Amino acid sequence: MRFTRFSIAAAALIALAACAPPGQQAETGAGATGPIKIANVNAQSGQLSSLGQWEHKGVKLAIDEANKAGGVNGRQIKLDLFDSQGDPTVGTNVARKIAAEGYIAMLGTAESAVTLAMAPILKDAKIPNITSGQSPKLAELKSPFLFLNAPTSVTFDETLAEYLVDEKGHKKIALISNNGAYGAGEHDAFLTSLKTRNVTPVADEVVTPDQKDFNSNLAKIREQDPDVLFIGAEEVQSGLIAKQARELGIEAVFAGGAPMGTDVYATTAGLKNAEGSVVSSPYLSNEASEPIKEFAAKYKAAYNEEARMHVAKAYDGASILIEALKQTNGEGGQKLADAIRGVKRAGLLGDYNYDANGVGIHETKIGLVKDGKVVPEAAS
């Protein structure tokens, strides 16, 4: 496997190379016999690097297993890792490089904004992409070459609203979210779910993705004394918000999507501050089923760390791609995209059944943070 940290300075050369018509690179057709080139694009540096590193490990585990078992109908998979740095500009340049160098599929990214920037280039090049992003805008693209290995924020936040409002009866709910692709998607989806229940937030604060001091935003929220504080942000920022909220004396229950189910969130917030946070996620525990237990055990054996949702969904995405490649005998383009859409798989996150918008999972569950880890709500 090769690791590439891509430089923006190379963009001009790549743009020229990318002018070759799709499908003209060697070893990509049905009669090809060489290695199948797959790109894995995820942040390996920057604030979102923890996501990218988890995603890469999940992908690599699935690819290594497939290659050990004979690859795709006898052909090995060549997996190359590219560092998107969590930057949409870097992502677009990586997309041009992938298109120019004969990669027939891409796995990643975990960052919705980066995936959104890359999607038009990959669509034009007819390169299927299985992403871990969950912004509803990804589904709204309706690209025939873009597939999600997890639900969109719409599903995450409808489940959350159902639990908080319908089951627990909370009405005094405040929101704080960033205006990046992920945060905006979370904000809009949760707000829509609240509106259908005739609940108006007592506060609705919007911050920037790189903001680190939230005291002025949280002071406004504190004035409203909410029962619940919904946090729509990535792992580190969610943790910082939770930490600063508690320091300001806000006693509301914290609630949010998958980022709040990670150890990065819990350690950033502080275990005491994170305790009791409500998490909506399709993957809550490494003990949820026998297949998940087996996966978690082999992941720990390979990497000497505990598995988590980001690892599992990357593994699911790579497994779906491998299954589709076997159906096309390693051929890419529209044929591979159609095969991916047709895959029905009982995955670690749930039962995959892709719809017309490329969304494969349509359900999440509720968990609570206990001692820095998420446990299913029913078991809490």
Asked if the domains at 36-151+289-363 and 154-281 fall in one CATH topology, the answer is yes
What gap in Å lies between CA 176 and CA 103, rounded to an integer? Answer: 39
d(CA 172, CA 92): 41
C-alpha–C-alpha distance, residues 329 and 74, integer Å: 9
User: Which fold does the domain 154-281 belong to in CATH?
Assistant: Rossmann fold (3.40.50)
Domain positions in the chain are 36-151+289-363, 154-281
- Cα angle, residue 150 at apex, residues 192 and 89 outer, rounded to 5°: 85
Question: How far apart (Å, rounded) are the C-alpha atoms in residues 240 and 268?
Answer: 6
Q: Which of the following CATH numbers is that of domain 36-151+289-363: 3.40.50.2300, 3.30.70.1400, 3.50.50.60, 3.40.190.10? A: 3.40.50.2300
Q: What is the pTM of this model?
A: 0.87
pLDDT of the chain along its 380 residues, tens only? 555 554 444 443 344 333 444 433 445 555 677 999 999 999 999 888 988 999 999 999 999 999 999 999 999 999 999 999 999 999 999 999 999 999 999 999 999 999 999 999 999 999 999 999 999 999 999 999 999 999 999 999 999 999 999 999 999 999 999 999 999 999 999 999 999 999 999 999 999 999 999 999 999 999 999 999 999 999 999 999 999 999 999 999 999 999 999 999 999 999 999 999 999 999 998 988 999 999 999 999 999 999 999 999 999 999 999 999 999 999 999 999 999 999 999 999 999 999 999 999 999 999 999 999 999 997 55
